[in-house]
Structures are given as structure tokens and as C-alpha cells.
Amino acid sequence: MYYLSTRDASLRKTAAEVIVQGLSRDGGLFTPVEFPKLPEGMLEELISADYRQRAKRIMKLYLEDFTEEELADFAAKAYGDQFDTRAVAPVYHLTEGTEVLELWHGPTCAFKDMALQMLPYLLTASLRKTGEEKTACILVATSGDTGKAALEGFCDVDHTKILVFYPKDGVSDIQKLQMVTQKGDNVGVCAVIGNFDDAQTGVKKIFSDVEIRKTLEERGLFLSSANSINWGRILPQVVYYISAYCDLCRDGRIKLGDPVNFCVPTGNFGNILAGYFAKLMGLPVKTLICASNANNVLTDFLKDGVYDRNREFYTTSSPSMDILISSNLERLLYLLSGSDEEVRGYMDCLSKSGRYEVSGELKARIHEVFAAGWCSDEAAGEAIAKLFGTEGYLMDTHTAVAYTVLENYRKETGDDTTTVVVSTASPYKFCSSVLSAMGVTELRPGTEILSQLEEKTRTTAPAPLKGLAGREVRFTGQTEKENMPQVVLDMLS
């Protein structure tokens, strides 16, 4: 199976090549030339399998240059005891017809672990397979959760270094503490004075900077990406959509073959795109509901076909979704249009004017699969308080956005298909917003806020977050976005 670039459909690369390279040289994103169908009978078999077996079987369909044994080994290591449940990605039955797929049982308590615990194995194996002997330097721009998950995944992994840029005032206190206390000899963390898009744009510029590439090459290094533009990030995410469906069958919530919807809190469009890929493989998915916060550029796009990033940027209580350029959308545009030329045109407009409008045909195809909505911080907060009151279920702010958007979607459409709300973070990652939503006005400082939420809700904070208290801060650096290249060269000297 080969991969093409969304901006050059004639390109043919192997899975190992695209995982090593991250982003295509033409600026496009690597995408499978065709999507493998779930073989006859496979879903049924997976119903009785555990998460690791599901991961192995599903990933194998895409990774022909990897052996079953390799993938079984990776799955066992990536989804092992660092997850606080053997189910890895359990589905919580919230109410009749509404299920919650909890993707935050990993070491950093956000869904990024689902991919970033796996990616280092895929990458180091891909380095071997492609004969690459230079050290891979993973450069990450993070809106909060990716950074920590990537640091945790790549910490002290041979032949890799990792450098993370986060927006100085765009992440929660707990998120920041998670990153600046990261252990490991191959890691670096730096704050960027600006928002997430500044950090992401800075990282993209470094990737396309020929001079920097050359300098690093002389040092025996090359740049690679762990952002969701990397195929090795998207693929492990396809697994949990299929896994959730199997769990629902196993638990008698649906019958095999019944359609389900997924409602996904969305930022860079990576998570929901993996759901679309699962649908392309033949998983019975009816509608994918894209949920946004006040940075609702995707809501407008999916509804009207106009992507316009020229709008105010809001810092919200769901910071991992505070994004105005959703990189992974490019893969959807390619798959729905089938034309690299069309994608190049849109991306050209985007970089020149910050705006593009898709063809009527493409818009119609979007509407066949996607619905979209957004909600305010206030509405998300109300949902947190309400659901804890009525069901005793505690959600984080990102999940609350999805839950609220789902409620609105149901009111608007009357669609009563069983729907899985994708839950992307532990509420303990966003304690202050969650506590405020529950009416608490005096918040305890630092990591003490964890026990405050524990006492308020009689739930237990995840062990990795409790362990942050008293850890040494290792990284205090910050930079203007213009100086990011210099930071990279200094840290990789």
C-alpha cells in the first residue's frame, strides 16, 4: 500500500517513508492511495478481542511493510500498564443512546496518548526500514496536550530528540507544569510569546527552511514531526473508532451493522479525520459531528463551504481546540475532491488571503457525512455542572463542548442514532475551568487544585497528575516567534 501527497497525487511512498518524513516536500500531507476495507468477518472477530489485538489487526491493514509480530509488540508496549485501565479506551454508557469514548486513560491524561504512545515505535522501526541513520529531531507545536504526550512518548527513545514549543499564555497551569517538568536527556521545551497558530506557523517555517535543514544534516540530525500532520499520528486513532463500535456490539448497545454517529471535539481536525477513515474502511458510521468552541472556523466551513481564518482568535476554556488553521482538513479536501490541483488551489488561497471557498460539489459531499456546531464556554460549563448533577459523570471542558453540540444537533435534526461522544481529556487536566463551572469561586493554587476537585466531586485524580506536585521545573525558556529557528539550532547543538 502506498501513500501520495495531497498536493501531488502522483507521488508514491511506503508507510515507513511517510512516517519518517512527516510532511511532504511539496507542503502536502501524506494520505493512503486507497483505503483498505475491513475484511469480511473482521469486525465480528474484533468484538471479542482486546484493544491491543484490535490495534494490531487494524494497523496491519495500512502497514504492509511491518510484520504482525512487530505490530503486536508495539501494541503491547504502547497500550500497556501506563494506561490506568486494561480496556485502554473504554466506552462509558452515559444515557440511552449516548455513549462516551474515554480517550484519556494514558500517561498524560489526554487523547494524544492514544497516538503518541504508539508513534515512537512506528518511527524508530521506520528509521530502520528506510536505512535512515541520522537522529530524528521531533519538532512539535502544541496547544497543550500534544506537547506533553509527545515528550512522554519520545522521552529517552534512541535515535530521537524532541523539542516542544507551546504558546506562553495558551495552556492550562497543569498542562504547563506537565511539560516544564518533563524528564529525559533528549527533550527540550520552550514557550512562544504568541498563540498556538504562531507556534505552529513557526514550526512549519522551520520545516521548510533549507538552511536549517542543511545545518542540522551536518550535525547528523534531521527534522521530523509528531503533529497530527504525521500519518503515524492519524493511524493509531483510527483504531479507537472501530474499537468503540466493537464495544457497543459486545455490550449489546447496538447490533453489528447498526449505524452510529460520533461527535468529536475538534481542533486540528486530526481526531475526527481518523473517524472518517474508519468510515471509509466500512465501519457503519452515519454522521460525524464536528464540535468547536468559539474558534468556530470549522463550523462555518462545514456548513457553508467557506474557510475563513480572518477572524478574532479567542482563548477559551477548551484551549486544545483554540485553533484557526486546521491542518488536517487538507486530507479531507483531497479525499472528497480527488484532485491535488484543486487542493493546491485552496491552499494557495489560504496562504495568500487566509480564505478559500470550496466547489458546490465538494460542499455537497461534505454534507453527506459531516455535521457541525459550536458552543460557548458558558454553555460548556453549564453542561459540566448539569451532567455531574444528573448522571454523576464528570467531563472536561473539551468533552463538554462535544456534548453540548450534540444536544443542539439532536434538537435541530431529530437524529436519534446512537451517538458516541469522543472524550478527549481528563477533567483533572482542566481543574480550574471544571471547578468554576461547578460554581466554585476560590480556587486553590498550583497542584492543590487537584485535591480541590477530588473533594468537590468525590472522584479521584489520575496518578500522573497527582505526581506533578513538587517536581523540579527544568525548562523556563521563552522566545519571540521570530527567534524560534535560533532556539532550535541552540537546543540541537
Catalytic residue among 56, 60, 77, 112: 112
User: For residues 435 and 318, what is the distance between their CA atoms, to the nearest angstrom?
Assistant: 14
Of residues 124 and 433, the one with the C-beta less far from ligand PLP: 433
Q: Is 271 in the site for ligand PLP (CB under 6 A)?
A: yes
Residue 28: alpha-carbon gap to chain centroid = 18
User: For residues 282 and 279, what is the distance between their CA atoms, to the nearest angstrom?
Assistant: 5
Which window, 46-54, 108-116, 178-186, 437-445, contacts ligand PLP (CB under 6 A)?
108-116
Q: Is 316 in the site for ligand PLP (CB under 6 A)?
A: no
Of residues 145 and 152, the one with the C-beta less far from ligand PLP: 145
Minimal distance, residue 392 CB to ligand PLP, in Å = 22
Which window, 36-44, 151-159, 263-271, 466-474, contacts ligand PLP (CB under 6 A)?
263-271
Helix (H) or strand (E) holding 152: helix 145-154
Tell me the per-residue interface mask from 208 to 237 with ligand PLP, x by CB under 6 A, - otherwise: --------------------x---------
Nearest to 227 by CA among 475, 401, 4, 19: 19
Of residues 188 and 267, the one with the C-beta less far from ligand PLP: 267
Q: Is 447 in the site for ligand PLP (CB under 6 A)?
A: no
Ordered DSSP codes for 380-396: HHHHHHHHHHHH-----
Q: Is 268 in the site for ligand PLP (CB under 6 A)?
A: yes
Nearest to 281 by CA among 229, 334, 243, 338: 243
Residue 61 neighbours by CB distance under 10 Å: 18
H-type alpha helices, 371-483: 377-391, 397-413, 431-437, 448-457, 463-466
Which window, 10-18, 107-115, 122-130, 133-141, contacts ligand PLP (CB under 6 A)?
107-115
Return the residue of 54, 309, 398, 481 that touches ligand PLP, per CB under 6 A: 398
3-state SS, 163-176, equals EEEEECCCCCHHHH
Q: Where are the beta strands (DSSP E) in 79-211?
A: 91-95, 98-102, 135-141, 160-167, 187-193
Which window, 71-79, 109-117, 208-216, 255-263, contacts ligand PLP (CB under 6 A)?
109-117
Q: Is 320 in the site for ligand PLP (CB under 6 A)?
A: yes
Minimal distance, residue 273 CB to ligand PLP, in Å = 8
Minimal distance, residue 99 CB to ligand PLP, in Å = 18
Q: Within 128-167, which residues bind ligand PLP (CB under 6 A)?
A: 145
Q: Where are the beta strands (DSSP E) in 160-292?
A: 160-167, 187-193, 221-225, 260-265, 285-292
Which window, 38-46, 75-83, 84-92, 260-268, contacts ligand PLP (CB under 6 A)?
260-268
Of residues 24 and 146, the one with the C-beta less far from ligand PLP: 146
Give me the amino acid identity at 258. Answer: D
Minimal distance, residue 252 CB to ligand PLP, in Å = 29
Burial (CB count <10 Å: 0-12, 13-18, 19+), residue 378 = exposed
Helix (H) or strand (E) holding 128: helix 119-130
Minimal distance, residue 271 CB to ligand PLP, in Å = 4
DSSP character at residue 23:
B
Q: Is 112 a catalytic residue?
A: yes
- Site for ligand PLP, rule CB under 6 A: 110-112, 145, 228, 265-271, 320-321, 398, 424-425
Residues with a known catalytic role: 112
